[in-house]
Structure 1
Amino acid sequence: MQSVLSVLLNEALPRVLTIAVLIGAGVGLANLAVEYGLVTVIARAGRYLTEPANLPPEVGTAVLTNTVSVTAGYGMLAEFREEALLDDRATLIAVVINTFFGFVQHIFTYYGPVLVPILGVQVGLMYVGARAGISLAITGVGLLAGSLLLRGYEYDSGALEPETPDDEPRTNREKVRSAGESTLERLRSIVPRLAVVYSLVFVALEYSDRILAGFASVGVDEPGAVLEPIAGLLGLPGAAVPVILVSLVDPTTGAITVAPLIGDVLTPNEAVITLLMGSLVSLTIGTVKRSIPFQFGIWGAEFGTKVIVVNVCLKAVFILVAIAGFFAV
């Protein structure tokens, strides 16, 4: 077991620095886009999303940015909220709409090059299709929520306009400096929260053996025993339980574990259901390890909690819907 200092230096610090750089890039791009008047130009491409959801066109920039970097896209939304272009309700709906566009990025960086080769073309495409459908459904919920809950909302687009004294034109150097100063100011409020929360989470995970001891104290010596009735309810063989457990810690290892079972022990449908069950169970670890530090760092504890609750609930609901769909086939 690593010391607390080792965990902080080797686990928490690299993650905080990486996310800080990505957030800085997102917020910096947002500020530069504002300074040069590019927000309106880029937002035209996203108006087909923002208009049905009654969101200001500037949000389209952040939504489309998610296809390149989810962290940068979130950084833009955080900047829009900080500048009072969006209130909490509109921001939350924009976050939900982001879901599918963040998934698109992972198709090219993870699902396509990693999972499909591991699972094989048939099961790989079935699973990726299921995850794409889940993400698209969540985005659809966001669009519907915006159309209903944001009807009649009025936004102050002037909140994003750079302040220019006496309407004097500014040089490129002044625009870049202004964008840089705004970005640094935003990072000063985000990075300390990131550092604190990530440090607490990684230290807690390092000493997670205490959690297993807690299971044992209530008579659950083998955590897999909790999942066996669920697997049985879904008609999955006992071999699915270890896969679900492994997926709890690492989805890629879960895919590697299930791949040899396809055809002999698990049908393609059962393999996809098993992986979806693993992703459903892993929401707990993922929330603690990634969502809480990231969302709290971006939004603060109060609004970050709202974002986490909405995201987790929507994912859980539509994963269950997807499982029911495969189970019914």
Structure 2
Amino acid sequence: MIAVLAAAALSTLKFLVAMVPVFSVGVIVAEFIVALGWVNKIAWITRPLTRIGHLKPECGASFLTAFLSPSAGNAMLVRHHEAGLITRKELIIAAIVNTFPGIVMHWRTVLPIAIPLIGIYAFVYYGFLLLVGLLKTIAAMLAGHFLLEPDNAHAIIPSAEKQVGVSPSWALWVESAKKSRKIIIRVIKTTIPVTAVMFVLIHAGMFDYLNTWLSGLTAFLPLSPKALSIVATRLASNVGAFTVAGNLLYASKLSGREVVLSLLVGNLLASGINLRFLIPYYLGIFGPGTGWQVLAVSTGLRMAIMAALIWTLFVIWT
């Protein structure tokens, strides 16, 4: 038990060191951008997005930021919600929309590994992941279109610079940091216990049991035994799945279509395993109440779309 607690403490520390600085910088940058009135200046870039989803320009700015860092983009949403600029409903919808930039940037962990192993099918697989993310974003925007007020997308955000007469300077950064301190401290207080509990469960083997249970589901899938080996490997390792797929493809044991389907099925089943990282991430940034809502809606919507896509491909390709 002591070894489990020690390992969990080390993992918690590593997670916090990686997440908290990025989140903190995101909140401070959000405060700074609002103070300068930049939200209005860059609103035209995401105006089609915010107009369809009836989202305020602040949400569009966070969407752009999420291409650089999803944590920073979501931190901006938290800051805007705390400042009363967006409602909780807008926060949840915008947070789901913000998952798309993360999926786009996922190429950095997929393509460099997959291309040498499965060739052109790496782009096919990645393309389907993008399609799932795009459909999820469209679904979120449609939800915003019907659930939010149309005037949201045309709201004008007052510039703090004009209100207080401050010029862009180091002093404004310091002021932004001071205003962000309350949010950052609250998030850290939530993140530490949630992360610690999750890593205790991870090192205690709870997710290993989940992995074993999910592996058992492969017996019910309409895939060949060789294709099932890719699915089972994907639950343990993304790189391992590409390696197994590449070997089977090179040996002509599986077709490219079977490889892509197997990787997609493995990706779907791995959603349960990924909760070990998603729970502390979402609950830490958005708080327990909103965090659970964003996590449940985002993960559930993605799994539903992914399952529908896989079923469609099974029908078309078999």
TM-score by structure 2 length? 0.90
| 1:156 positional shift | 11
Name the counterpart of 2:272.
284
| 1:28 positional shift | 1.5
Secondary structure (helix, strand or coil) at the match of 1:45 reads coil
Name the counterpart of 2:176.
179
Tell me which of 121, 128, 131 is aligned to 1:130. Answer: 128
Deviation digits for residues 18-64 of structure 1, max 9, x if unmatched?
10011112111111111222121122211121111111112111001
Distance 2:266 2:69 in 1: 25
Tell me which of 200, 203, 206 is aligned to 1:203. Answer: 200
How many residues get paired?
314
Distance 1:206 1:160 in 2: 48
| 1:163 positional shift | 8.9
Secondary structure (helix, strand or coil) at the match of 2:85 reads coil
Q: Which runs of 5+ in 1 are unaligned?
A: 216-220
| 1:161 positional shift | 5.0
Name the counterpart of 1:111.
110
| 1:233-252 matches, cutoff 5 A | 234=222, 236-252=223-239
Name the counterpart of 1:68.
68
| 1:2 positional shift | 7.4
Name the counterpart of 1:229.
220
C-alpha RMSD of matched pairs (Å) = 2.6
Name the counterpart of 2:186.
189
| 1:123 positional shift | 1.2
Contact 1:111 1:128 (8 Å CA) reproduced: yes
Deviation digits for residues 239-286 of structure 1, max 9, x if unmatched?
223322221232222222222112622211111111111111111110
Distance 1:91 1:53 in 2: 12
Q: 1:223 to 1:148 in 2, by over 3 A?
A: closer
Name the counterpart of 2:282.
295
Q: 1:295 to 1:160 in 2, by over 3 A?
A: farther
Tell me which of 284, 297, 315 is aligned to 2:302. Answer: 315
Distance 2:42 2:125 in 1: 33
Percent identity among equivalent residues? 24
Distance 1:222 1:88 in 2: 36
Q: Does 1:271 align with 2:249?
A: no
Secondary structure (helix, strand or coil) at the match of 2:68 reads coil
Q: 1:224 to 1:136 in 2, by over 3 A?
A: closer
Distance 1:87 1:54 in 2: 12
TM-score by structure 1 length? 0.87
| 1:321 positional shift | 2.1
Name the counterpart of 2:13.
13
Contact 2:37 2:158 (8 Å CA) reproduced: no
Q: Which runs of 5+ in 2 are unaligned?
A: none
Distance 2:195 2:183 in 1: 18
Contact 1:85 1:160 (8 Å CA) reproduced: no
Contact 2:65 2:72 (8 Å CA) reproduced: yes
Name the counterpart of 1:326.
313
